[in-house]
Each structure stands twice: as structure tokens, then as C-alpha cells.
Amino acid sequence: MIEVSLTELNRSNFYEKTLQTIEQICDDYAIEKDFGTLSMANQMVCDFLENTQESFTVDFYCQIESDGVTFQYAMQNGTFQQLSQNADGENTALFVLQSLADEVSFSTGYDTLITTFHVKTKTDIQRQFVQQKVRSHIFNS
């Protein structure tokens, strides 16, 4: 498993940094065909935050495995409770998010949103992890 994290994202940098990360993940793990789905789901989260939160700070975590990609959005201030409510199908953002992701869940306090996408990466995750450790060791020595 590979993990990527971006911390303390806010209104001014959330969309740009998460989109760049998603694009890099799709390129690195040969899932370019899933870029549209992953980026559109991320866009739904971004739109929700911008439309409901005057200011926000979010940590973005991504886990990449050979059979899927999981995005976790953890709010430092505010909650995703409004996004989780779907009264009579009126919450378009949640409907679209549930249509794009294979799994959508919220933490008990609604401060964390987790979306999982069942995609098959074409790159051996274990090999990439070893290469990443070697590169890290070389450049940090």
C-alpha cells in the first residue's frame, strides 16, 4: 500500500493541490482512464466545501493499493454532516459522489469523509513501494 497525504489545505489551495495529486497518482499507477471519475468525485467535495464553508482546513489522505484507491478528507474545522444528508434525493453533491465512488462513508462525528474507488492499478504496488523507499534513502542521506 502507498499513502499520500496533503495537510492543512484551505479554500485557496485545496482544488489545485488535490487535483495535481490525483493526476500524478493516475499517471504513476497506470489508471489514467479513471482520472475523470477520481477528479470529478474530488470536485464534488471541493464544491461542497466552497458552497457551505466560509473558511475550511482539510487534510487529504490517499491510499493506493493494487485493487483500489481511497481518498480520505478530514476537516479540522467544520463537518461533512450537511453533505451526508440526502432528504428525498435533493443533495446533488452526495448523489453524484455516490454515483462515482464505489463506497462513500462518514466518520461518526462527520468530520471525515471517505471515498473508495475499486480500480485495478497496472503497476506493482510492492515494487513501487520498494523503489520509493530506495529513492527516499538516497536523497535523504
Domain range list for the chain: 2-140
Q: What is the pLDDT of residues 49-78, one digit of tens each?
A: 999 888 999 999 999 988 899 999 999 988
Q: What is the pLDDT of residues 34-50, one digit of tens each?
A: 999 999 999 999 999 99
| CA–CA separation, 116 and 105 (whole Å) | 9
Report how far apart, in Å, the C-alpha atoms of 36 and of each of 29, 41, 68, 119 are. Answer: 15, 8, 15, 13
Q: In the chain, what's the furthest Cα-to-Cα distance?
A: 57
| CA–CA separation, 73 and 97 (whole Å) | 13
Q: What confidence tier does 141 reach under pLDDT thresholds 50, 70, 90?
A: very low
Assigned CATH topology for domain 2-140 = Heat Shock Protein 90 (3.30.565)
pTM (2 d.p.): 0.81
* Cell 453533491, located at residue: 93
